[in-house]
Structure 1
Amino acid sequence: MTALLYTLGVLAFVLAILVSIGLHELGHLVPAKKFGAKVPQWFIGFGPTVWSRQIGETEYGVKAIPLGGYVKIVGMLPPGAEELVEETTYDEDGEPVHRVRRSNTGMFTQLISDARAAEWEYVKEHDADKLFYRLPWWQKVIVMAGGPTVNITIAFLIFLGIFATVGIKTQEAVPGQPVVDYVADCVVPASESGRECTEDDPVAPARASGIRVGDRIVSLNGTEIEEWSQLQELIRANDDGRAVIGLVRDGKPTEVTTNTTVTARPTSADDATLRQVGFLGVSPRTRIVTETGGVLFTLEQMGHMTVDTVQALGTLPLKVYDVGQAILGLEERAIDSPVSIVGGGRFAGEAASDTSVDVTDRLLFLLTLIASFNFFIGMFNFVPLLPLDGGHIAGALFEALRRGLARLFGRPDPGHVDVAKLLPVAYVVGLAMLVMGVVLILGDLIVPLHLAG
């Protein structure tokens, strides 16, 4: 039964992500068609075609490798007057076909010319008014922003449903001087949190000192304790120093002495970055606080998510490098390291098969996971670098700025922005994305993260 639930959880997550990818591509396709651009293909996946169907001028289908999707919009790259020579030939039906032959040599110019040739090889004469690069800049922005906006909208709708009904449940220490609710037996690395102690694990300082469940902590090294967060800060700042702990046990004051130990731990619930801090090994009595809200509350929470995601994107290459180090056994994998769709599927499977958790909570976790992946996909695609959607948006905005300035100063229209000149950058970024994707997939297979971690 557990294996079946695990499999169902994985399949549900993968199916949801594939549907999200398909909707992302529809987010490009629908406005592109609305604005008159030619869209010959819409596919989920890559590699050999598993199924397809022609509807109008567009072929819709599914390919064998479900690691993404694409929509083909004709004329993304404008012809380069200096680099390309256009010529007209005729196909077997007698239709005129505009072909582009290369007239330049050199590594980068040849790459650009090859891309233009592939883009323009079968553009027919009657397609001249259906080319993407000829659209007004604002239509280009709408078309390219449509995909990631769909992902963010999916995330918003899921989060709205959760926040408006179940709300955000947070666990916080009971106010006042902390009462011990749990005493750790040993010091377990944060990345392995939840596992059983082994003979190699050092005894937790709290356990060694004799602290018991139910003890109320009233002081540390002479400092009176008023709440749990204050005690946490003092313990972390104590490193491996001597700790004299004042307690109230069964209504009577007592005192124990130990040495806190240094270990890598997250420093707060909002920051999972591991730092070397002092560790005692106790947890306080807690209570569950629930906060609910509607549209404005959801937008507020997603605003916080946006800040966190932008910060995460800034450190993504470094974190992927750390995952590579973990794969080689050079360091432990951090609990806040990014995961691929493989890791997401593992989380979904583990959550679905955890029968100790209520079915409703398992479903909520799965929905939250799907929403989080959609939100990240949307935000990632807005990064202003080719080949991401944000790169094309940046190109359209630059075109608007350049043409606007030309009109303002009475200069000739500079024409369309030639994004093809940035293709070498796109190839580098694309290669980096491929490498990061492979590293994360390998990391999720070799040094996986688990929900308990």
Structure 2
Amino acid sequence: MLYLLGVVVVFVGIAASIALHEIGHLVPAKLFRVRCTQYMVGFGPTLWSTRRGETEYGLKAIPLGGYVRMIGMFPPRPGDDGRVRASSSNPLHLMIEQARQDSLEEVRPEDTDRVFYKLPVWKRVVVMAGGPLMNLAISAVLITLLMTMQGPAFVRPVVSEVAPCANTVVTDEDCTGQEPSPAAAAGFEVGDTIVSVDGTPVDDWADTTYAIQNAGEQATFVVERDGARRELTADLVLRERPLVGADGLPVLDEQGENVYGEVGFLGASPTIVHEPQPITAVPGMVGEMFTGTARIVLTLPQRLVDVSQAAFGTEERDPNGPMSVVGVGRVAGDVTQNGIEGFVESAGERFWLLVSVLASLNMALFVFNLIPLLPLDGGHVAGALWEGAKKTWARIFRRPDPGPVDTAAALPIAYAVAIGLLGMTVLLIYADIVRPIQLG
């Protein structure tokens, strides 16, 4: 039941995000008097719809997106009557002219001034950017709740568990035939606060890990226990483990893979605490999420290659890589049911992790839709801005108005992009089924 609850919560959140994205297009379009004939959440067969005024509102069977149908998205050719040119033998030209004709057929005589392409450039930018900006607003609101109510996780150098045995981290209580862990042998206790390692003060667990990693076979710790400080010496066990830098982040090679080395193992686990932050910390976190998401989008081709190698090979999935709605649902279900040991355990922590998933998803929708290619919103924004630049150039040099940009001419690119997006979706769904991302 918990698994199903997590899946339902996330899918309702996704549907709401899509619906609000389309509201971001619909509201300014109506304010600017563009006739909107349909507002739909989803694609495929219509499951339910109702008409309010001139707009049909509805839900469709495939919840992978949505759309607002606005009349006059494609302008006619100058001097054309909107008919398909039968003399053309180029299938791409026929496709473009057919789309142009279909667009013009929606325009009634009384709607000639209510078509999308006749809007001023800035109004078209507002209409098409409204959807992505709605996702940005949703993400910012959710991040604000996360930061001010739960707070980010801080890994403090306070011992939460001591591994009894040298060959395990915390679990096995029976150490028969095994050496005790370095932490247990040195006398560490739950609640000890590590103050320094080999004379170097540490403020957080990243400092502690880096100091242990570079301590060699033995390290001297100063810990605070019951208000008093004491010195503990641990004979570390050397193990092959991923290296971390002084900033606490993993050391990566040129391919972005973890660098391994023989480092000291202590056998003590830190304490993870959440500390609510002032609202002034929210813009920085929104910026970090934006840049991180943009980095993923910019490297999407390579990341899809990595997904393919994982799906059809033996490599593990990158937990920070792209996933489909199926993968998001599986993560939500797993986290709600099982949590993440040592990181997400209580019901509150599981709830807030679902909130962070929805915040990340909306940030991804914001960034992805800004790509300046049709049929994405960024493609329409780019077309409007290009038209504005051309008109400004013509006005400066006193040349005739060049008229609207022929966005219909970009339809072959739009169809190619749509086919690519479909292929990416199929790949990610397959990978999320056969080799899902594992958290924790």
Matched, 1:22 2:52: no
Matched, 1:13 2:1: no
2:410 aligns with one of 400, 422, 435:
422
Tell me what 2:81 maps to: 86
Q: 1:381 to 1:208 in 2, by over 3 A?
A: farther
Instruction: Measure the CA separation in 2 of the matches of 1:248 and 1:427.
Output: 63
State TM-score, norm by structure 2.
0.81
Q: 1:24 to 1:179 in 2, by over 3 A?
A: closer
Matched, 1:379 2:363: no
Matches within 5 A, 1:355-370: 357-370=345-358
Q: 1:15 to 1:377 in 2, by over 3 A?
A: same
Tell me what 2:273 maps to: 288
Contact 1:173 1:287 in 2 (8 A): no
State TM-score, norm by structure 1.
0.79
Tell me which moved more, 68-77 or 259-268. 259-268
Deviation at 1:440, TM superposition (A): 1.3
Contact 2:195 2:222 in 1 (8 A): no
Contact 1:46 1:65 in 2 (8 A): yes
Which letter maps to 2:324? Answer: S
Q: 1:101 to 1:72 in 2, by over 3 A?
A: farther
Instruction: Measure the CA separation in 2 of the matches of 1:303 and 1:321.
Output: 27
Contact 1:381 1:388 in 2 (8 A): yes
Matched, 1:211 2:182: yes
Q: 1:441 to 1:30 in 2, by over 3 A?
A: same
Q: 1:19 to 1:235 in 2, by over 3 A?
A: same
Give per-residue Cα distances to partners, 1:374-430, cap 9 Å, x unaligned: 121122111222211011111111111211121112111111111222222222222
Instruction: Measure the CA separation in 1 of the matches of 2:288 and 2:113.
Output: 43
Give ranges in structure 2 of 5+ residues lacking alignment. Answer: 173-177, 189-193, 224-229
Tell me what 1:244 maps to: 217
Q: 1:217 to 1:439 in 2, by over 3 A?
A: farther
Q: 1:360 to 1:289 in 2, by over 3 A?
A: closer
Q: 1:224 to 1:179 in 2, by over 3 A?
A: farther
Contact 1:179 1:284 in 2 (8 A): yes
Deviation at 1:159, TM superposition (A): 2.0
Q: 1:349 to 1:368 in 2, by over 3 A?
A: same
Instruction: Measure the CA separation in 2 of the matches of 1:208 and 1:276.
Output: 28
Q: 1:352 to 1:115 in 2, by over 3 A?
A: same
Deviation at 1:172, TM superposition (A): 3.2
Which letter maps to 1:53? Answer: T
Tell me which moved more, 73-82 or 442-451. 73-82
Deviation at 1:300, TM superposition (A): 2.1
Q: 1:359 to 1:229 in 2, by over 3 A?
A: closer
Give per-residue Cα distances to partners, 1:96-136, cap 9 Å, x unaligned: xxx54455332432332233233233433222212111110
Instruction: Measure the CA separation in 2 of the matches of 1:122 and 1:427.
Output: 21
Instruction: Measure the CA separation in 1 of the matches of 2:402 and 2:118.
Output: 13
1:163 aligns with one of 142, 147, 153:
147
Q: 1:161 to 1:212 in 2, by over 3 A?
A: closer
Which letter maps to 2:133? Answer: T
Which letter maps to 1:140? Answer: R
Secondary structure in structure 1 of the residue aligned to 2:327: helix
Deviation at 1:271, TM superposition (A): 9.1
Q: 1:142 to 1:258 in 2, by over 3 A?
A: same
Instruction: Measure the CA separation in 1 of the matches of 2:422 and 2:302.
Output: 15
Give per-residue Cα distances to partners, 1:144-189, cap 9 Å, x unaligned: 0111111111122222223222222322335xxx99955896699x
Secondary structure in structure 1 of the residue aligned to 2:258: strand
Tell me what 2:258 maps to: 275
1:444 aligns with one of 417, 432, 437:
432
Identity between Structure 1 and Structure 2 (%): 36
2:386 aligns with one of 366, 377, 398:
398
Instruction: Measure the CA separation in 1 of the matches of 2:259 and 2:311.
Output: 22
Instruction: Measure the CA separation in 2 of the matches of 1:254 and 1:349.
Output: 43
User: Aligned-residue CA RMSD in angstroms?
Assistant: 3.5
Instruction: Measure the CA separation in 1 of the matches of 2:2 and 2:32.
Output: 45
Give per-residue Cα distances to partners, 1:48-78, cap 9 Å, x unaligned: 1111112111111111111111111111111
Secondary structure in structure 1 of the residue aligned to 2:30: helix
Matched, 1:144 2:128: yes
Secondary structure in structure 2 of the residue aligned to 1:212: helix
Tell me which moved more, 102-111 or 153-162. 102-111
Matched, 1:36 2:36: no
Secondary structure in structure 2 of the residue aligned to 1:319: helix
Give per-residue Cα distances to partners, 1:314-349, cap 9 Å, x unaligned: 112211221111111242212222221112112222
Which letter maps to 2:102? Answer: A
Tell me what 1:314 maps to: 298
Give per-residue Cα distances to partners, 1:429-448, cap 9 Å, x unaligned: 22222111111111111111
Secondary structure in structure 2 of the residue aligned to 1:261: strand
Deviation at 1:140, TM superposition (A): 0.2
Matches within 5 A, 1:39-58: 39-58=36-55
Q: 1:377 to 1:429 in 2, by over 3 A?
A: same
Tell me what 1:173 maps to: 157
Secondary structure in structure 2 of the residue aligned to 1:412: coil
Which letter maps to 2:275? Answer: T
Q: 1:74 to 1:163 in 2, by over 3 A?
A: same
Contact 2:383 2:405 in 1 (8 A): yes
Matched, 1:389 2:360: no
